Amino acid sequence: MRTQVAIVGAGPAGLLLSHLLAADGVESVVVETRSRGYVESRVRAGILESSTVELLDSVGLGERLHREGDEHRGIYLQWPGERHHLDFVDLVGRSIWLYGQTEVTLDLGRAREAAGQQVVYGISDTAVHDVGTDHPSVTYTDAGGASVRLDADVVVGCDGSFGPSRGAVPERLRRTWERTYPYAWLGILADVAPSTDELIYAWHPDGFAMHSMRSASVSRLYLQVPPGEDVARWSDDRIWDELATRLGHGQDGWALTPGPITDKSVLPMRSFVMEPMRHGRLFLAGDAAHIVPPTGAKGLNLAVADVGMLAPALVALLKGDERLADSYSDDALRRVWRCTHFSWWMTTMLHTSGDPFDEQLQLSQLRWVTSSEAGAAGLAENYAGLPIGYRG
């Protein structure tokens, strides 16, 4: 098989890249180890930055998002006894949209299918070859057991932190940075109307808690738990009790309404950045090159921004102009590091470690962010999202 761009990974980064390339007449094949059903049902975060929404709108992918998603002006930040609303529209003129990554992936899958995009699911033994030459390739075993070789002009790794693409950048040229946090999140989905109009991020001495949502009848909530926590230790009653305490049930008349829990999982918290994001004819985008902890929901938005920069770079490269391709890694990493800092900052401001000095610093920072317009605007600018291509 032969194509112009071989894309490894059919998550939102890979599917969106194939969509953007097709809009400019560039052909691609997307290959994926998982099944389509798995990719389209995995539970992920639900916040879209304004630049993510603009990009999806500009390529005809925003219709269901505007119909079924929910535009939010800001978030609540709270700690025991106090809840403050930060209005991003007033502060920086930009809003955010609540629309699950699962829905974005579904919309992308349908749009690519309607356009006749070749997406090969259920492959195994994926390997990336000869990226230092002009004739790179991807080999794999297809779902029927046949060995396939996909030749391409360019290979793009959109295959997350466990995929093979990252490892195709030679070790001696690779640099990585990593931070593991001493806590994890227990996330639940519940069939109950949200008890809040916009997201609540809550600092509490017992640990962070957050109230998000997926629709008028589905809530998404999170609790800080020890790393590697076993979900079996968390009965539904224990989860709702702990959420009520940390989110301030009863505070100023606010009530958390519990409901049937339909999904429970533990999410690790890790920051990771790798450079370069390009080696020869191999380009990396999204989680293949960087991981953020979930606080602030930057993962999908970062992947969209990478791909938004990469698509025009590849279109130009295939026409013989290498300038954007040459600067892709540096350009993308500037924005990646900004979001890496923001995710780390939100995480360390809101999660308790039991250290009394840290707690006082966190509370001081929260008071400043919620009382100073400059402090609030800094959070709002980063949360609502910096432009794609932002360099700082």
Q: Which residues bind ligand DHB (CB under 6 A)?
A: 45-47, 199, 212, 220, 294-297
Candidates 152, 146, 118, 108; CA nearest to 32 is 118
Calculate the alpha carbon distances from 335 to 192, 276, 363 in Å.
Answer: 36, 14, 28
Nearer to ligand DHB, 184 or 297 (CB): 297
User: Shortest distance, CB of residue 296 to ligand DHB, whole angstroms?
Assistant: 5
User: Shortest distance, CB of residue 201 to ligand DHB, whole angstroms?
Assistant: 7
Q: If DSSP states are collapsed to H, E and C, what string results for 74-89?
A: EEEEEECCEEEEEEHH
Tell me which of 12, 294, 328, 351 is the catalytic residue: 294
Q: Which amino acid is at 203?
A: W
Candidates 372, 319, 308, 383; CA nearest to 346 is 383
Per the annotation, the verdict on 383 as an active-site residue is: yes
Nearer to ligand DHB, 333 or 350 (CB): 350
Reading phi first (left if > 0) and then psi (alpha if -120 to 50, else beta), residue 9 is in: left
User: Shortest distance, CB of residue 381 to ligand DHB, whole angstroms?
Assistant: 16
- Lookup: tokens for 253: 């008349």
* CB-neighbour burial class of residue 267 (10 A; exposed 0-12, middle 13-18, buried 19+): middle
Candidates 54, 127, 138, 59; CA nearest to 96 is 54
Nearer to ligand DHB, 350 or 376 (CB): 350
Nearer to ligand DHB, 49 or 275 (CB): 49
Tell me which of 204, 298, 328, 351 is the catalytic residue: 298
Q: Does a cis peptide bond (omega within 30 degrees of 0) precede residue 136?
A: no
User: Shortest distance, CB of residue 103 to ligand DHB, whole angstroms?
Assistant: 12
Nearer to ligand DHB, 3 or 51 (CB): 51
CA 99 to chain centroid:
12
Per the annotation, the verdict on 121 as an active-site residue is: no
User: Shortest distance, CB of residue 117 to ligand DHB, whole angstroms?
Assistant: 28
Per the annotation, the verdict on 164 as an active-site residue is: no
What one-character DSSP code corresponds to residue 15?
H
| Phi (first) and psi of residue 131, to 5 degrees | -75, -15
Locus of tokens 């800080």: 224
CA 52 – CA 97 distance, rounded (Å): 9
Who's near 173: CB < 8 A, 6+ residues apart?
276, 279
* Cβ count within 10 A of residue 102: 18
User: Shortest distance, CB of residue 390 to ligand DHB, whole angstroms?
Assistant: 20
Spatial contact of 295 and 350, defined as CB atoms under 8 Å apart: yes
Q: Which amino acid is at 4?
A: Q
User: Shortest distance, CB of residue 54 to ligand DHB, whole angstroms?
Assistant: 20
Locus of tokens 């390997």: 127
Nearer to ligand DHB, 91 or 155 (CB): 91
Tell me which of 140, 201, 222, 328 is the catalytic residue: 201
Nearer to ligand DHB, 208 or 328 (CB): 208
Catalytic residues: 72, 201, 294, 298, 383
